[in-house]
């Protein structure tokens, strides 16, 4: 099973600690990715957002900088908002990353939980589903090693066009979902790997979606494909230290998001429920987190688990210590 980390390059102010600048946070992300490889983990992902509290609006650029500092680790978007992007340009960016990194690039395509990119790039949210379906079809057509003749609603047509550069292998494309059965079924019918974001509730409740994915793979005539989970979490040497470090930044970030989306503020009781053995937060000692990862792996049949520690912006040295514990303590137990 592969283990790794993801980030959105969050830059929240916490208490009297100001938010880092975008440049400072991006440089920290590169160092955190280097540390992820150094401790023997398998994958590092950078997500796309277009707002003041996230610095990573161009994941391929950040991942290219990481590629220049690493040799082995897989480099993925987590995710790329395909619905508001141009599939031609997105393919070119990640094909270039794949060549630079000697075959380590992946593209996780999602519809977009945050929607700031839609007006930014002139897309209508009323076309939310149609945009993703059409652009995914074009992206998959482009990555096939043949000229593309295509027309659709949302970009100019292509006529017997080969999109360059070409990669030495088919560029891996995952479908990233937040829990939509339609999205899960689409991934299975297309024979694409599935990444599930589990950021609340109980992970065991996602088992019906995994079963749906397997049925869709079979219906589409495809071989089994990898399944990944992305979840929030943080490690420290003791449970008390982990909670003391993580709770305030996490609660502030989630409560701020809740104000935008109509949720209530994050309470300590909710946090503790999420941190329980059945919950979706992976916060605590290496032993505690390893047990939860092994449990979700067995429950959902996972091939990859990606921990997201920077939900609220923690000090850089704290994140580096969490990465160290994940690689040196958790990974050997899980494996």
Q: At residue 145, does pLDDT exceed 80?
A: no
Q: What is the DSSP letter of 329?
A: I
Q: How confident is the model at residue 160 (pLDDT cuts 50, 70, 90)?
A: very high
Mean pLDDT of 80-108: 98
pTM as predicted: 0.97
DSSP-H helix ranges across the chain: 22-38, 59-67, 87-100, 117-120, 128-143, 181-190, 207-219, 239-261, 268-275, 286-300, 316-325, 331-334
Contact 232, 250 (CB under 8 A): yes
Q: Which residue has the tokens 């049925």?
A: 215
- Beta-strand pair 227-235/304-308: parallel
Residue-wise pLDDT for 50-77, tens only, equals: 999 999 999 999 999 999 999 999 999 9
Q: Which residue has the tokens 């309470």?
A: 267
pLDDT at 16: 86
Q: How confident is the model at residue 251 (pLDDT cuts 50, 70, 90)?
A: very high
Q: DSSP letters of 264-305?
A: PPPPHHHHHHHHSTTSS-EEE-HHHHHHHHHHHHHHHT-SEE
pLDDT at 264: 86
Q: How confident is the model at residue 257 (pLDDT cuts 50, 70, 90)?
A: confident
């Amino acid at each position: 099973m592969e283990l790794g980390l993801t980030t959105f390059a969050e830059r929240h102010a916490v208490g009297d600690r100001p938010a880092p600048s975008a440049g400072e946070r991006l440089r920290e992300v590169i160092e955190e990715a280097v540390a992820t490889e150094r401790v023997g983990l398998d994958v590092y992902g950078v997500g796309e957002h277009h707002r003041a509290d996230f610095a990573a609006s161009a994941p391929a650029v950040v991942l290219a900088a990481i590629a220049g500092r690493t040799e082995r680790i897989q480099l993925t978007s987590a995710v790329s908002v395909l619905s508001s992007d141009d599939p031609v340009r997105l393919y070119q960016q990640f094909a270039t990353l794949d060549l630079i990194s000697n075959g380590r690039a992946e593209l996780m395509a999602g519809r977009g939980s945050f929607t700031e990119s839609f007006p930014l790039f002139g897309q209508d949210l009323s076309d939310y589903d149609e945009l993703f379906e059409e652009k995914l079809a074009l992206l998959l057509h482009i990555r096939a090693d043949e000229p593309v003749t295509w027309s659709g609603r949302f970009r100019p047509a292509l006529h017997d066009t080969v999109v360059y550069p070409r990669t030495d292998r088919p560029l891996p494309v995952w479908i990233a979902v937040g829990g939509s059965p339609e999205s899960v079924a689409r991934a299975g019918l297309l024979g694409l790997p599935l990444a599930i974001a589990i950021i609340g509730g109980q992970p065991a409740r996602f088992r019906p979606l995994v079963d749906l994915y397997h049925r869709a793979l079979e219906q589409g005539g495809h071989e089994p494909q990898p399944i990944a989970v992305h979840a929030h979490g943080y490690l420290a040497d003791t449970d008390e230290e982990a909670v003391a470090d993580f709770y305030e930044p996490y609660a502030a970030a989630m409560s701020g998001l809740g104000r935008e989306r109509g949720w209530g503020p994050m309470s300590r009781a909710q946090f503790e429920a999420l941190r329980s053995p059945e919950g979706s937060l992976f916060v605590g000692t290496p032993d505690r987190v390893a047990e939860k990862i092994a449990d979700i792996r067995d429950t959902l049949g996972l091939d990859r688990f990606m921990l997201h520690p920077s939900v609220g912006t923690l000090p850089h040295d704290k994140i580096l210590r969490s990465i160290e514990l994940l690689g040196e303590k958790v990974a050997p137990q899980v494996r």
